[in-house]
Amino acid sequence: MNGLFDDAARLRTAATWVMGRGMAMALQSAWTEWERTLQTGDLVFFHGIFLESEEIEIISRSEWSHVGMVVRLPGFDEALLWESTTTETLEDVEQHRIKTGPMLVRLRERIATDEADRYDSRYAFRQLQGDRPADTLDKFQAFVEEVHDASFPSLTKMAEELLAGSWDCQADEKTFFCSELVAETYMRLGWMERGHPSNYYTPKLLAKSQDLPLAAGLVLARELRYLKDAEIPTVQP
């Protein structure tokens, strides 16, 4: 009898493993299908659930505390995220070190890690429509080299820079907060006019504004596309 019970227990364990693996594979497949639609310039928004993010969302009256930009680069078979953050959890794919401030990370890993570590709980995309100029990659790489070693400002300095931006005063480029980096990238690529300084822009503005001064032929989608629970990637062992 003990042998029968042992066999039944092993079968249950095996079935649980198979079901869990099948669910994980289904989640990864859903994310892969979603990721294939993303192109350089698409914006990614994060709803944070830790204290610093919640403070930013309350102050800005926004659903979003963080924004980054999707990047497709030669040599990488998955979408990357160009962002500026204080989160020291992922290695920069070009500098091969963990850092704060402007960095390039794998988008799947950023979302999966933030979800697992309970930094964020909601994600959405605002896709950029229109043809990207042929020199986009060269301009982007030049800008990355210029600012890659910059840092993320303190909360006090970020507030000061946002205030300066509201008066159309450009902040220095020794530090970048997240939406400032995205806006400056758009400007350096020639995708957005410098009607306001890059430190004028917030995640809320980049997510909601329908009159951003984009270059002719480029349009940001009017509606955000939210990731469904089944599409959120998981941390891979």
CATH code for the domain of 93: 3.90.1720.10
> Is residue 25 one of the residues assigned to a domain?
no
CB 192 within 8 A of CB 215: yes
CB neighbour burial string for 137-151, b if at least 16 within 10 angstroms, e if fewer:
beebeebbeebeebe
- The predicted structure's pLDDT at residue 22: 42
> Is residue 165 one of the residues assigned to a domain?
yes
- Which ranges constitute the DSSP H helices of the chain? 2-35, 51-60, 107-116, 136-147, 155-166, 178-188, 203-208
> Is residue 26 one of the residues assigned to a domain?
no
> Is residue 118 one of the residues assigned to a domain?
yes
**CA dihedral of residues 197, 200, 206, 210 (deg, nearest 10):** -80
The pLDDT of 180-203, averaged and rounded, is 96
Instruction: Decide if pLDDT at 17 tops 50.
Output: no
pLDDT class for 3, splitting at 50, 70, 90?
low
> Is residue 7 one of the residues assigned to a domain?
no
**How many folded domains does the chain comprise?**
1
Instruction: Decide if pLDDT at 11 tops 60.
Output: no
> Is residue 187 one of the residues assigned to a domain?
yes
Could you tell me the two tokens for 144?
A: 């990355």
Percentage with pLDDT > 90 across the chain: 65
The pLDDT of 83-105, averaged and rounded, is 94
Q: Which residue has the higher pLDDT, 29 or 44?
A: 44
Instruction: Decide if pLDDT at 194 tops 90.
Output: yes
> Is residue 17 one of the residues assigned to a domain?
no
The whole model's pTM is what?
Answer: 0.86
- The predicted structure's pLDDT at residue 52: 75
User: Smallest Cα–Cα separation from 172: which of 145, 144, 150, 149?
Assistant: 150
Domain span including residue 139:
37-231
Instruction: Decide if pLDDT at 18 tops 60.
Output: no
Surface-to-core class of residue 38, CB atoms within 10 Å of its CB (0-12 exposed, 13-18 middle, 19+ buried): buried
- The predicted structure's pLDDT at residue 14: 39
Q: How many Å separate Cα 231 from the centre of its chain?
A: 15
> Is residue 15 one of the residues assigned to a domain?
no
